[in-house]
Chain A
Amino acid sequence: NAGVTQTPKFQVLKTGQSMTLQCAQDMNHNSMYWYRQDPGMGLRLIYYSASEGTTDKGEVPNGYNVSRLNKREFSLRLESAAPSQTSVYFCASSESVFSGNTIYFGEGSWLTVV
Chain B
Amino acid sequence: TQLLEQSPQFLSIQEGENLTVYCNSSSVFSSLQWYRQEPGEGPVLLVTVVTGGEVKKLKRLTFQFGDARKDSSLHITAAQPGDTGLYLCAGYNFNKFYFGSGTKLNVKP
**Chain A residues in the interface with B (C-beta under 8 A):** 4, 35, 40-45, 48, 50, 56, 58-59, 90, 92, 97-100, 102-108
Interface centre among B42, B48, B96 (most CB of A within 10 A): B42
CB distance from B48 to the nearest CB of A (A): 5
Q: What's the tally of chain B residues with a CB closer than 8 Å to chain A?
A: 26
Whether A105 and B42, one on each chain, are in contact in the complex, defined by CB atoms closer than 8 angstroms, is: yes
**Chain B residues in the interface with A (C-beta under 8 A):** 1, 4, 6, 9, 30-31, 33, 40-45, 48, 50, 88, 90, 92, 95-102
Q: Tell me which residues across on chain B come within 8 A of A98, comparing CB atoms.
A: 95
Q: Tell me which residues across on chain B come within 8 A of A104, comparing CB atoms.
A: 42
Additional pairs, 6, CB under 8 Å, beyond known A90-B42, A99-B30, A103-B90? A42-B101, A92-B42, A98-B95, A100-B31, A104-B42, A108-B41
Known: A100-B50, A102-B45. A43 touches B99 (CB 8 A): yes
CB distance from A91 to the nearest CB of B (A): 9
| Interchain CA distance A104-B101 in the complex, whole Å | 18
Whether A108 and B42, one on each chain, are in contact in the complex, defined by CB atoms closer than 8 angstroms, is: yes
Whether B88 and A97, one on each chain, are in contact in the complex, defined by CB atoms closer than 8 angstroms, is: no
Q: Tell me which residues across on chain B come within 8 A of A45, comparing CB atoms.
A: 96-98
Q: Tell me which residues across on chain A come within 8 A of B40, comparing CB atoms.
A: 107-108
- Among candidates B41, B44, B99, residue contacting A42 with C-beta atoms closer than 8 Å: B99
Q: List 30 A-B contacts (CB under 8 A).
A: A40-B9, A41-B101, A42-B6, A42-B88, A42-B101, A43-B90, A43-B99, A45-B96, A45-B98, A48-B96, A50-B95, A58-B96, A59-B1, A59-B96, A90-B42, A90-B43, A92-B42, A97-B95, A99-B30, A99-B50, A99-B92, A100-B50, A100-B92, A102-B45, A103-B43, A105-B42, A105-B44, A107-B40, A107-B42, A108-B41
Q: Tell me which residues across on chain A come within 8 A of B6, comparing CB atoms.
A: 42
